Amino acid sequence: MKTIRKILVNGKIETLYGKNFSYSDNEGKKINDTSIKFLFPVKPRLIVCVHLNYKSRLDELKRIQPEAPTYFWKPASCLNFHKENVVRPLGCKYLNYEGEIALVVGRKAKNIKYEEANKYIMGYSIANDFGLHDFRDTDENSMVRVKGTDTLGAVGPDIALNWDYRNKNITTYVNDKIVQKSNTSDMLWSPEYLLADLSKSITFNKGDLILTGTPANSRPVEPGSVVKVVVENLGVLENKVVEGKSSLSRGVGAMPKDSDHIRSISLGSDNK
């Protein structure tokens, strides 16, 4: 399976092309992951996410499957990488992990047919669609701060070009404990369906991302925790959660809140 990785090594950005996540330098020497900084192989202009796409998540939240998928945006400014810190702003407590699979668009796609959608897909990567639910009451409709706060869009480290998403396990760990475990067979809509649906309204370009949803058991995570998303035959995405160093400015706009509604989303079936 062909894979792509972008790294920063000795101050130089390099794009690596490998096989089955194995990469070598120009001299044929295998690259040591501990000596590099991970980037992401493409620069997405758009990051679109589906709200609910796993049956287990619907069941947990006691929702009825909608007739069609619904979506929200993550700004490209929140993009984060493998082994980088995810920041929970000081004064917040409902920062949730969401292990996901990211579809990477391969070329311009506008109003494409579902049957031909695969031709427009470069490949797939791993994502952790962190959500800051302290702003859920304020941003319920837009999700701007819930999903768009800096560092909350972790993706990588690789793009697998010919990975088959069907019947693959997806597992999230917090401090090496399994907290989410599912299979892509639980998806309500396939990645191709999501791309074809969205392309009716939005023009996608090479490098744009579609995050395909998370299974049940998204929960808040504390600073100091290490979160890993493992997808079968796609690799591992790892991030450490840290607490912000300064308080959010007061006197303008909304501040972090706590409410029954916030807890019902952030804590899921654990909310009592």
pLDDT digits (tens, 9 = 90+) for 103-116: 999 999 999 999 99
- Please give the pLDDT value at position 228: 99
Give the N- to C-terminal CA distance of the chain in Å, as an integer. Answer: 45
Whether the predicted pLDDT of 254 surpasses 90: no
Q: What is the DSSP letter of 65?
A: P
pTM for the predicted model, two decimal places: 0.95
Q: What is the C-alpha to C-alpha distance for residues 238 and 226, in angstroms, rounded to an integer?
A: 7
- Please give the pLDDT value at position 267: 87
Whether the predicted pLDDT of 30 surpasses 80: no
- Letter string b/e over residues 131-146, b meaning 16 or more CB atoms within 10 A of that residue's CB: bbbbbbbbbeeebebb
pLDDT digits (tens, 9 = 90+) for 61-72: 999 998 999 999
Lowest pLDDT segment from 56-60, 71-75, 262-266: 262-266
Dihedral pair phi/psi, residue 192, rounded to 5°: -60, -40
Q: Is the peptide bond before 157 cis (omega within 30 degrees of 0)?
A: yes
Average of per-residue pLDDT across 241-270? 86
Domain boundaries, the chain: 42-246+254-270
Average of per-residue pLDDT across 123-137? 96
- Please give the pLDDT value at position 138: 86
Whether the predicted pLDDT of 29 surpasses 90: no
- Environment class of 148 (CB within 10 Å of its CB; exposed 0-12, middle 13-18, buried 19+): buried
CA distances from 218 to 73, 95, 143, 262, 270 (A): 19, 10, 16, 13, 10
Amino acid found at 168: K
CATH number for the domain whose boundaries are 42-246+254-270? 3.90.850.10
If one counts every other C-beta atom within 10 angstroms of the C-beta of residue 248, the result is 15
- Please give the pLDDT value at position 257: 86
Average of per-residue pLDDT across 89-116? 97
